[in-house]
Structure 1
Amino acid sequence: MTEYDLTTVTAALSRRDWDDSTDGEVRFALVGLGWWTREYVLPVLTDLDACAATVAVSGTASKRESVVDDWDRVETALSYEEFHEGVAVDEYDAVYVCTPNATHLDHARAAADHGKAVLCEKPMEATPERAAAMVDACERADVPLIVAYRMQTDPAVRSLRTAVRDGLLGDPVHVHGHMSQRIGDIFPDGNWRLDPDLAGRGGSVTDLGIYPLNTTRFLLDVEPVSVRATASSDGELFAEIPDERASFEVTFDDGTVAQCFASQNAEFSAGLEIVGTQGSLRLAPGFFDAETQRITLTRDGERHSVTYDPVDQMREEFAYVAHHLLRGEPVDPTGAHGVVDVATIDAIYDAAESGERVSVDTDPDPAE
C-alpha cells in the first residue's frame, strides 16, 4: 500500500458523487422546532439553491412564531393540529419530521395524506411495528419516505463505501464502533431521549448506537441477522431507561460481526473501524461532524492517515434529497431500510434483558 493509494481513496472526500445540476426548489415544512432543527437545519436551508424552509410546525407557539420572525423564507407557522388538518398545504412540497421518536408516525402519516414526500429523522419510530406502519402509509399514498441518515450523504463516507466495496480491505471480518456523550451536560433540565414514552425502549442504543449500526450496514451493504447485548443504568438521570451504557454485538448476513458501545453518560467520543482480510480502516471521530476527521488505513503492515475538515452533513443531506426529488429519482435510504434498524435496536434490548442471542425480525407487522 503506497501513499498514492490512500490519496486516491480520499481524493473525493468533499466531492458529491451525484448530479447536483437540477433546476427548481423543494419547499420544506419543518415539523418539530427543537434545538436540532433551529441550530442545524434552518441555517443550512437559508442558502441552498435546491430547497428552502417555508413552513414551521410546532406544538409551542413561541417556537414557531420566533422561527417565522427570524428566518426570511419561513412565512407560515402551524400547530401540529393545523398541520394534520392540511392548513397551508400548498405552501410546501415535502416534510421534514424532527420530533420525539414515538410521534414520527403520526406526522409522517399526515404528510403522506397530504401527498407530500417525507424526510424523517432517525430512528424512524419507537417500535418496529410503528416504523413498518409508516412505510405502509407512504406506500399507499405513493409518496417517497426517506430516513435522515446523514452519514449516508456525507461525501467522505460515500467515497469510503466505494473503496471498501471495491476490495480495499479484502473481505470484511469484524467492525468496532462506539459513540458516547454526556446528555446531562447537553440538557441539564432533562430530555425526551430519556423518556421511554417518547424515545422508545432506551436512550443510548436508540439515540447513539444507531450510528455505528447503520453506518456499518451502509459501508458494507449487509443486513443484521442476530444480536447479543448487555446494558445497565445507575445514575438518577437514567432511572427510566435500561441503557445508561450498553454494549452490543451484531452478526450480519455475510458473517461480519460488529461490536459496538453506546452511552449517554461517558466522554464525548466516537469512531468506527472496519477490519478485513487484507487491511483495516478507521474513521474518527466519525459521527460527530463538527470535528476534524481522521481516516487511518492499514494494509500489509503499512499505516497511512489523512485528516480533513468535514462538510456540513445536514447541508449535504437536504441538497441530496432535494435534487433527487426534483429529478424524480429514487432517494435512499428508504423507509424499508430504516425499519431494519428499529427492529435491530428492539432485538438489542431483548437480548440485554434475556442475556441470550436474539434473532432480528427485519419484516415486522405494521401497527394498526
Structure 2
Amino acid sequence: MFDSTLSAIGERDWDTGAVDEPVRIATVGCGNYARSVSLPAMAAGAYATPTVAVSGDPDTRATLADEFDVTALDYDGYEAGAATDDYDAVYVATPNRLHLPHAETAARHGKHVICEKPLEATVERAERLVAACDDAGVRLMTAYRMQTDPVVRRLREFVADGGIGAVQRAFGDFTFPVLGGGGDPDQWRLDRELAGGGALYDVGVYPINTARFVAGDDPAAVSATTRSPDPAFDEVDQHVDVRVEFGGDDGWVGNFSASFSGQFNTELELLGTDGRIAVRSAFEPGADREVTVETDAGTLEFAGAGADETVAEFDYFAHAVATGAAVEPDGADGLVDMRTLAAVQESAASGQRVEL
C-alpha cells in the first residue's frame, strides 16, 4: 500500500500536458499575498502566465508592470473592459466582500475565474458569485491551493484506498499572528464588513477544507466558540475552536482551531481505525511538508516532501481551462465551506450545535 500510493508523493496526478499555449491571467487585487506569492507562482508555472495586474495604487501598478512585464490597470479600467484581449482568466485576490463585483466583471467579459477563499463575506453573496459565473458559462475555481498540493492529493488517495481504515477523528490548527512583525492594525482582515470573519475566515477554513478533502466527507453539524480578548480584534474573532461532525450519524469528528495571535503553526492529523496521518507545515505556502504515516505495516516519514502548491494551483486551473478538465475546488465546493463558516458563527453566537 505504501509503495503503490505514497511512493509518488510529489506527482501531479492531474497533469496530462496537452496545453499548447499558457492561459493568460489578470490578477485583480495586488496586496502582499498576490505580489509575493501568487504572481511569482504564475510566472514560475508551465500552464499559466500573468499578463494583467489590477491595483488601485499607481506605485504598485508601476512596480508590477516592470517586475512581471504585465499590463497594469486601475479598477475603473478593469470594470470598463480595458485590455480584455490581453487575458483569458481572472484571479480575484481582493478582500472577501469585493470578490463578488470583481468576479461578476470577469464573467461579464467572458473570462474564467479563480477566486480566493473564502468565496465571499456572506453565503448570499457567495451564491450570487457562483450564479454569475454559471450564467455566463465561465469556469470558476475556488482557490484552495491545498487541494492541488501533490502531497495532500496523495494522502487523499491513500485514505480513499483504505490506508488508515475508516476515519475516526481529525485535528487541525492554523495560527497566524496577523499583527506580528508590525502588521497593520487597520488591515482589511480585521474589518468585519470586508472580511466576513477573522481567524475563522482567513485561516480556519484551511484545516476544515483540507480535512474534508482528504477524507472525502462534508460537514453535517458544527459546535464552536470564539474569543477576542485583544481589543485590536473587537470586530472579528481572534481565536476560534470548532467541532465538526462529518458524514452523519455513522461519521467522524474533527476538532479544528485557528488564531490571529500566537506562535505561527500549521498542522493536520487524521486518525483511522487502522492508522494515522500527521502533517506538519501543513498549510504554509511553499513549505516542505513533514508527513508521518503510521499503520500496522510500519511507519513512513517524509521530510521535505512538499512542492510549491501555489505553482500547482495556477497550473491546475490553467490546465483545466485549456483542456476542459473538471475542477474539483469549484464554486459548489466553495459554497460548502461558506455555509460551514456561517454555521460556525451561528454556533459561537448561540452556544448551540448547528446542523448543516
TM-score range, shorter chain: over 0.9
Secondary structure of the 1:213 match is: helix
The equivalent position to 1:105 in structure 2, one of 100, 103, 107, is 100
The whole-number CA distance in structure 2 between the counterparts of 1:156 and 1:20 is: 20
Picking from 110, 116, 122, the partner of 1:115 is: 110
Residue 308 of structure 1 deviates from its aligned partner by 2.0
User: TM-score when scaled to structure 2?
Assistant: 0.95
1:79-228 paired onto structure 2 within 5 Å = 79-186=74-181, 188-190=183-185, 191-200=187-196, 202-228=197-223
Distance in 1 separating the partners of 2:285 and 2:97 = 26
Cα pair distance change 1:307/1:47, threshold 3 Å = closer
1:301, distance to aligned residue in structure 2 (A): 8.8
Letter of the 1:194 counterpart = L
The answer as to whether partners of 1:6 and 1:297 remain within 8 angstroms in 2 is no
Task: Give 1:56's aligned residue.
Answer: 53
Q: Structure 1-normalised TM-score?
A: 0.92
Match of 1:31 among 28, 40, 46: 28
Q: Letter of the aligned partner of 2:31 in structure 1?
A: G
CA shift, 1:46, in A, is 2.4
Residue 296 of structure 1 contacts residue 304 of structure 1 at CA under 8 Å; is this kept in 2?
Answer: yes
Native 8 Å contact 2:173 2:268 kept in 1: yes
2:281 corresponds to which residue? 285
Structure 1 counterpart of 2:260: 264
Cα deviations by residue, 1:131-189 (Å, 9 ceiling, x for unpaired): 11111101110000101100010111111111100000111111111110211115522
Correspondence 1:12 to 2:8: yes
CA RMSD of aligned residues (A): 1.5
Amino acid paired to 1:189: D
1:291 to partner: Cα distance: 3.4
Give % identity: 41
User: Do the aligned residues in 2 keep the contact of 1:289 with 1:311 (CA within 8 Å)?
Assistant: no
Q: Secondary structure at the match of 2:26?
A: strand
Kept in 1: contact 2:285–2:310 (CA 8 A): no
Q: 1:329 aligns with which of 325, 328, 332?
A: 325
Instruction: Please report how far the alpha carbon of residue 310 of structure 1 lies from its aligned counterpart in structure 2 after TM superposition.
Output: 1.6
Q: Partner of 1:41 in structure 2?
A: 38
| Structure 1: unaligned runs, 5 residues or longer | 361-368
**Aligned counterpart in structure 2 of residue 346 of structure 1, from 342, 346, 349:** 342
The runs of at least 4 consecutive aligned structure 1 residues that moved more than 4 Å come to none
1:67-78 superposed matches below 5 A: 67-72=64-69, 74=70, 76-78=71-73
The equivalent residue for 1:238 is 233
Query: Paired residues, what number?
Result: 352
